[in-house]
Structure 1
């Protein structure tokens, strides 16, 4: 702090005027007071709608301040003191417009310099007891370089923590890759309201609301992670960073990066091992780019170099080397990535600085893959899948994610030995931990793929004036599919594929050549990752080279897979289904919602078709427009195979695909929920057989009037199928201020309509409030919805004892019913509400023929807070649907916002009659059950549920601040539902 900082302590320096200054010397006193004084907080006359904060003042001088006069009468002295007293940044000066732009931009970026996350924490239980690991991705918009300036921009990290059987997170304190709760510290990531950043709480509890830790608070770079991807990449030497590993699966500390280019412009990926270069090539300086470019031009298209926006191999190698991690400290024409070595990084030679080589990971949640998890051998008695499962039951764990460094990454998660609670590099013949020093380290990057469609954008990454762009920013999806020829890696023809998208990455660009009709698009990539001991095999990348191909916009939705296996046949067809995305980065679309299907068998057959989507719907690939919708796009689809006669048919078939839409534009958002029915009751169908018999279009489930951006979840109560989903959007900064984006959003629990034979009618459900008893002859779809957000549930030991009241203290929210209500003809008790909504089965005549219906079409609630919205898929476990909401602050200048976690009984849309959260009921003589819990600052999406030795479950939610919130749910309504066979659902 400068001398003479406060008016009452700086002697004669303060003055009401200094002649040439035309003012006083109080500026430094004002900046000091704003930063240090807390007395205003204690003034009871002030009401704070948000937690009060002191004001930091940063000063940039346009030109060098004059150095005239004495003491603070010198502008240079006064501005220097004011800057020092007002913040932790000294006075900044700029002598020309370019310098002013740079200083202001750096300063704005500096204020954002803290860890953040846009993804969810991936919780993987390696054993039935719930022990395993948590994989977290975080990013920094800025990081200090060795001189202390925030010049290193948009870097990321993926690391692992250990989790015990109670769902508690631990660091690897002693760095032995073994969970020992006596030696390893319990750690909770939380947002510290004082420090204004995410920190780690060691061996203590966290108060989410106040943002405080009762134990020891540490910075994130003081946590001893199980492993860190950024640390492993930083430990590669400058020489080794330029070349791929010689032996793919080895302990050699080098990367393996590859790419693909459609050299002959047919959209097809060739087969590895063939003479064709179509299958892909290594992304390193030693690749013969000139030969590949000659191959491209010989096919009548532009050169390979033009795809990268360069003209020579030398220019291309500059991009390649930078992306691989080369950091030339003498070359100012490329982005610098030198940072001080973090305290928890163990780097060979203990250098003071490292090169940070991993780009920002924002929305691409790390996805771990180990043993096969689809359980087709149990659900459908498929003996070929049993063979596949047996071979890969102890498969290496690999963590997959996309980053905005232009690559899709795969990290080594190793193996977990439950007998020793250890994570290890290899297993012996008894599946116990074994390390002979030949296998990759934990957290090592096994491979990275550079998508063909991103190649024109890669040059931007190298630019020292880089402004952030999205590249590979969508969460990967993993599917077990039977599309391969039978071989050693694919027993029974089964394999595991990865599908990765770009979200808002891959802005459409057209090829430069006059005769070259290619377009570089926001794309999906499909890889065969069945055997992680071998290199991955690229199966396809979505391309466009014709005007007959559909414009699918940005790849913002996560695809689903639809299997079609006819009765009595060993053959099956597997379709990838996804929707269009917005056509603009602000989340708007200039075309109607569209759904696409592609036959994955085509990618592995001898007469394969390219991974391209036609504008019309065909038998193997194509798309269909939702003609009844306004301009918009599709949210994440999910596939379900319904129970038949109370059990699954042994021939697996996807019966329906559920998905929502975002429709309209700024000031007038809306949306709908649809289902696309495959009509595959007993025989094989193709996409041109799906949907409405007249138009092939999906059938409308409900018009919500609000946008739907997250996937639904499907449940079964023994009689009805339920569809759970919420509304809301937050795709662009304007969603904080747009009046429609901030409209009242909703959450639904809807029953799929059936007829008196129990068959689905695929009727549209009317969005009408239930006002009382419904005629038993009213068909499902016209039986109304119960609004439940005003209903309060009293805590009681049983449903019949749990009294219902209303939030406002009246009985106005309770449903009148002479059929189910009590003596006052109101639905007063929890058991009555459950029967009124879910029904009690059909009504039968005297000879037991069904003649009528009971129950409503389901329930819905309006979120209680303004601007509150649902942005993540709900979970369903033990009769409890759990989901998050996000509420941006009303003040558009404030970041973060607030996140909440809901736990609702799946049949009523209210709280359960017992507390499902710890401290889940109000105090007093007649406690009320709490169904909504605040989980702190930041945006939250889909919660992960951890089920282990503790009662119930634990919801683990990562917010956009990087905090990992743990919420115990000790009381599940249906305790027996932790295990057991259910219908088959593909998210």
Structure 2
């Protein structure tokens, strides 16, 4: 064996990572397990003790092969050792066989955290498991949504204090009282390939204890932390008949023949029950009418599919017909149907009693102040809104957070409904599903969720993050807003992302399943009025034959005079017409478009054609002049070069007049858009924009794509740019060739009309201040104090670009999340997928650059280990720091809790795919407390 080390490990890896029988459904792989039986000779008299070195080498080889071949067990030894006593052989073999059953169902045995969002004093996380083992059964694609305390110092807290946790009370004194809640630091253990939490104590003021000492803490597996609630478990115990599930009341399909308006006669209260559905909706389920009346309870008939989607336990009586979703919860012998599907691409959005927008502050809008100050708004019980691949958009109860007039060291407490809800039993409603919504275009695919073989495949349904805003759409656009605030409403925009199907040349798959009624089953966007959070009103659902998949996160645009209700629009772009799969890339062979929909009605007002086969990324709308008028929308695009086959992209904008943008009122001048930048770089993430101190608008964008396994193998170099949007001074489009390298000497110079290449520019300084922080050391698998630099005296000079700057990323590194401009910094996340099939995931990085210079700022912006080349003397300030393994989410990935009074630093929470919430502090270049530059982004 010793002479074949590489072969054994390599073959174990290959067999575990390769589908050995591609003609059989699902991945057919081999997991390598080893039981070591040779032992060691500790008797020097026997003359065989010298063989111990060889035996140790063989044991190491077997361990490496087991690790590479997927046979290592969660949190335990890498393989099964029966070398100590012969009597342990049977136990080791039994353990290995048991683990084979578990591992075959648990896949990577890592809970994949796909999204995050922060509510007031708590953080809501979503993750999913591809497979969950229940005895000898496999339960596929289970979703989870959990709520975690965030203390006044922005630390995560485990709600483990008190006699019967969780107790829904935040107490910081975990060092001096058993009622206190421990600080959690999440990290990824590369030995066990799982996310874990280190638990630290503090005193009542949030300091001291083991957190200050940084002593090695007790640890928990990620799925064992004590959360306030977990919605998947709560929904599993919910009676299916008690659920409130809405569906669409108006469905719009735009075709070359005109507008098809489906089901516009439905009442707002239509629910997803067979008795409530009209004939056309039943037909959209794409189940033959004969099946609906067959009388066979095990048949795939309409009644049973609706019941299955609602969560009824049909698999218990007919396991041969329906996919089994039943799990056994702790403390119960009764299996429950796990109703919440995987949450993969949709970031949960927490809606509370805090104003969603800042109109009252930016525009001095007293009508909005009265709306958000009304008792109905202020007494809202917070909801978490998230899309899942079970067909539904879900609304889960986060609860009402009370953080004043509390006694006994309690910093905050959650009530279920309102500040007046003092009934302790009311906490049983925390985490409950308040309502759900199924778009009509998902109907034809619901039956596949019930199919027995669904566990070996996967489909998307409601996979786009939601957009929620307060808008004044309760009156005519030209009329003054109601003085009492009654013309304001809260509107949700959602989408299916890669759910549904699309049409047109090159579409793959080419349309909905056979038998689906015309104009149904296409990827769509939808809107709900959620002014009353407990009782939503579906407004519309929209698809277009040229749209492709609804992957573009939309922007909300307002035009019109500031004292009127104004015109409100939803803006998004065309998507891929090819469904991304493991070995299938996205693509589009037809002209791309930008869409403007009337926000209230869903009517198509503008459809602006672009000059290429554009897959449009997330869209950003900005109000440059703070006059309640969105002057521009920005977006990036990606497309494949028809000749070379390489991916390219453009950074684009559309200028908007301050008027009705309806098709009868506005005809965009040709071409209707501006190309700001173009090059051999696909732009899929949202751009970012801000103003510098001179009032000039800067636009930022990073390139890269990450849709399929093909993207993991892509090592092409990507770019991040900062570009002035100043048509009077810059000739557009700026191309990569229109650039001048900067020498980075002192002082650097950047000619006008060029993008400065700041890739190799460094920022240096002499260390003047340091502090010690408690940090996880992955090499030693322990927590320890590390010294970080907090201040330097600068010894370098930053460039001053006149047009903009660019910085090239490392090979394979890409941007898939929206950047964040704040305090004179532009922060963005990058990801480098691993090319090693036997390694776990890839690595994420946080960059922090000066927003006008494109280099690391002269202050130490990132307060984290590794942010400087050393901790004393003259050091280089790094542009980026590593965040660890796992991809960051798409969309808004950098979450900033509200800044504390008098505190300069911004503490940022960044969630990566392993489940770790990385926490970093930034020191803004420009004060965000004494000088706030207001900027409306929708």
TM-score normalised to structure 1 length: 0.72
Structure 1: distance between partners of 2:888 and 2:132: 24
One of 86, 96, 116 as aligned partner of 1:88: 96
Change (3 A) 1:8 1:562: same
Q: Where does 1:14-29 land on structure 2 (aligned, <5 Å)?
A: none
Q: 1:306 offset after TM fit, Å?
A: 3.3
Q: 1:30 offset after TM fit, Å?
A: 12
Corresponding residue for 1:311? 291
Corresponding residue for 2:606? 622
Corresponding residue for 1:974? 926
Change (3 A) 1:330 1:781: farther
Q: 1:303 offset after TM fit, Å?
A: 3.5
Structure 2: distance between partners of 1:530 and 1:189: 36
Where 2:113 maps in the other structure, the secondary structure is: coil
One of 131, 141, 145 as aligned partner of 1:142: 131
1:791 aligns with 2:761: yes
Corresponding residue for 1:960? 913
1:878 aligns with 2:823: yes
1:154 aligns with 2:141: yes
1:414 aligns with 2:399: yes
Structure 2: distance between partners of 1:541 and 1:308: 25
Corresponding residue for 2:589? 590
Corresponding residue for 1:168? 155
Corresponding residue for 1:250? none
Q: 1:339 offset after TM fit, Å?
A: 2.6
Where 2:575 maps in the other structure, the secondary structure is: coil
Structure 2: distance between partners of 1:37 and 1:438: 51
Where 2:305 maps in the other structure, the secondary structure is: helix
One of 650, 663, 678 as aligned partner of 2:639: 663
Q: What are the Cα deviations for residues 900-945 of structure 1, in whole angstroms up to 9, with x where unaligned?
A: 1111111211111121222432234211112211111010142112
Corresponding residue for 1:224? 226
Q: Where does 1:447-462 land on structure 2 (aligned, <5 Å)?
A: 447-462=435-450
Corresponding residue for 1:326? 312
Structure 2: distance between partners of 1:795 and 1:542: 55
Change (3 A) 1:221 1:743: closer
One of 174, 183, 190 as aligned partner of 1:193: 190
Where 2:123 maps in the other structure, the secondary structure is: strand
Structure 2: distance between partners of 1:497 and 1:401: 15
Corresponding residue for 1:765? 734
Q: What are the Cα deviations for residues 516-544 of structure 1, in whole angstroms up to 9, with x where unaligned?
A: 632321111100011214x100000114x
Q: What are the Cα deviations for residues 542-601 of structure 1, in whole angstroms up to 9, with x where unaligned?
A: 14xxxxx5420101111111111137x624111111001101112211223211111124
Change (3 A) 1:267 1:410: farther
1:983 aligns with 2:935: yes
Structure 1: distance between partners of 2:483 and 2:336: 39
Contact 1:199 1:220 in 2 (8 A): yes
Structure 2: distance between partners of 1:139 and 1:563: 36
Q: What are the Cα deviations for residues 97-125 of structure 1, in whole angstroms up to 9, with x where unaligned?
A: xxxxxx9xx97654333310222x2123x
Structure 1: distance between partners of 2:688 and 2:682: 17
Corresponding residue for 1:376? 359
Structure 2: distance between partners of 1:765 and 1:688: 34
Where 1:385 maps in the other structure, the secondary structure is: helix
Q: 1:213 offset after TM fit, Å?
A: 10
Where 1:723 maps in the other structure, the secondary structure is: strand
Change (3 A) 1:474 1:34: farther
Worse-matched range after superposition: 320-329 or 212-221: 212-221
Change (3 A) 1:310 1:753: farther
Change (3 A) 1:492 1:830: farther
One of 929, 937, 946 as aligned partner of 2:897: 946
Contact 1:414 1:426 in 2 (8 A): yes
Q: Where does 1:603-642 land on structure 2 (aligned, <5 Å)?
A: 603=601, 611=602, 613=604, 621-627=605-611, 629=612, 631-642=613-624
Q: 1:311 offset after TM fit, Å?
A: 3.3
Corresponding residue for 1:133? 122
1:6 aligns with 2:38: yes
Q: What are the Cα deviations for residues 367-426 of structure 1, in whole angstroms up to 9, with x where unaligned?
A: 011232212122222232222121224432111000011110001111111213434335
Structure 1: distance between partners of 2:196 and 2:150: 18
Q: 1:787 offset after TM fit, Å?
A: 1.3
Change (3 A) 1:571 1:966: closer
Q: 1:791 offset after TM fit, Å?
A: 1.1
Q: Greater strand share, 1 or 2?
A: 2
Structure 2: distance between partners of 1:634 and 1:459: 31
Q: 1:469 offset after TM fit, Å?
A: 1.0
Corresponding residue for 2:567? 573
Structure 1: distance between partners of 2:762 and 2:569: 45
Corresponding residue for 1:179? 170
Contact 1:165 1:948 in 2 (8 A): no
Contact 1:399 1:411 in 2 (8 A): yes
Corresponding residue for 1:403? 388
Structure 1: distance between partners of 2:98 and 2:808: 49
Gaps of 5+ in 2: 1-32, 42-54, 73-87, 174-179, 203-213, 254-258, 503-509, 581-585, 744-749, 769-792
TM-score normalised to structure 2 length: 0.76
Q: 1:143 offset after TM fit, Å?
A: 0.6
1:471 aligns with 2:472: no
Contact 2:834 2:842 in 1 (8 A): yes
Q: 1:493 offset after TM fit, Å?
A: 1.2
Where 1:465 maps in the other structure, the secondary structure is: helix
Q: What are the Cα deviations for residues 313-345 of structure 1, in whole angstroms up to 9, with x where unaligned?
A: 662222222222223323211111223425xxx
Structure 1: distance between partners of 2:592 and 2:215: 47
Contact 2:703 2:816 in 1 (8 A): yes
Q: 1:83 offset after TM fit, Å?
A: 13
One of 101, 108, 111 as aligned partner of 1:112: 108
Change (3 A) 1:89 1:908: farther
One of 690, 713, 736 as aligned partner of 2:688: 713
Structure 1: distance between partners of 2:133 and 2:182: 28
1:282 aligns with 2:271: yes
Corresponding residue for 2:52? none
One of 692, 711, 716 as aligned partner of 1:743: 716
Where 1:311 maps in the other structure, the secondary structure is: helix
Structure (1 or 2) with the larger CA radius of gyration: 1
Corresponding residue for 2:207? none
Q: 1:439 offset after TM fit, Å?
A: 8.5
Contact 1:699 1:762 in 2 (8 A): no
Q: 1:356 offset after TM fit, Å?
A: 2.1
Contact 1:500 1:525 in 2 (8 A): yes
Corresponding residue for 2:652? 674
